[in-house]
Amino acid sequence: MTDNRIECCKCQTPMQPGYLMEKGHGNKHSITTWARGQPQKSFWMGLKSPQEKLETRTYRCPRCGYLETYAPTTIA
């Protein structure tokens, strides 16, 4: 993904880069993570830690509010 100018697929407005935030352990903020495969429940952790996971980046259209999320293999 070398082109940073991502346009909204609904209204072709340039989208703003950002990310989806969630609260993790101790109310620490973290970035929503993409995990490969199916979620596996763990008694202690809620969900078992996945083998492969990637940080995500989400783009938002300032015009219509559409969100588009990417999980690049390398985070710029």
Total residues at interface with Zn ion (CB under 5 A)? 8
* CB closer to Zn ion out of 13 and 30: 13
Residues 13-72 that bind Zn ion (CB under 5 A): 13, 61, 63-64, 66
Helix (H) or strand (E) holding 60: strand 57-60
Question: Measured between alpha carbons, how far is 36 from 53 in angstroms, rounded to an integer?
Answer: 6
In sequence order, what are the residues at sequence separation of 6 or more whose Cβ sits closer than 8 angstroms to the Cβ of residue 21? 29, 30, 31, 32
Site for Zn ion contains 10 (CB under 5 A): yes
> Which residues are near Zn ion by CB under 5 A?
8, 10-11, 13, 61, 63-64, 66
